[in-house]
Amino acid sequence: MDCFIFEAAGKYLGIKAQYVYRIVDDVNPARVPLLPSCHAGIIYDRGDLFDVIDVGRLLENDSAPPPDKTTYVILLKWNQRRLGLIPERIVGIKWIQDTADKKSRTVFTSEGRTIQMISPEEIWKMLLDLPYGH
């Protein structure tokens, strides 16, 4: 499968490339009050709104506010949902052999990287578990 790999929270993370809608750069998400600190804001792209999430902060539960300016945002579309992810660094798309053990969350690339696979739905569920409002 094609896997989109990026770095966040000191790890290599992989997401099935089919969920990646596109990558945008030099964007300035509109900050929204009352949302968790990993919520970097909202962007409007091609008629859609995307909640932009700082993946590092989400995974490390960092409460410091996200940076004002972001370099890249990975836009994901799946089911009826839209999400933008701010990585620390984008590695790129790699072909990764489907393992027999579908439950395995960790894959290894030929370059020797250890990649933790994550699905958009898992990220979404993590977001829903966070406190909103007061």
Applying CB under 8 A, which residues contact other proteins?
A: 22, 30-35, 39, 42-44, 46-47, 49, 51, 68, 81-82, 127-128, 132-134
Q: Which residue has the tokens 């940076």?
A: 67
Q: Residue 128 CB, nearest distance to other proteins (Å)?
A: 8
Q: Residue 8 CB, nearest distance to other proteins (Å)?
A: 19
Cβ-defined contacts of 66-72 (< 8 Å, 24+): 66/37, 66/38, 66/39, 66/40, 66/41, 67/40, 68/28, 69/28, 70/27, 70/28, 70/29, 70/40, 71/25, 71/26, 72/23, 72/24, 72/25
Q: Residue 67 CB, nearest distance to other proteins (Å)?
A: 12
Of 36 and 88, CB closest to other proteins: 36
Of 105 and 125, CB closest to other proteins: 125
Of 14 and 120, CB closest to other proteins: 120
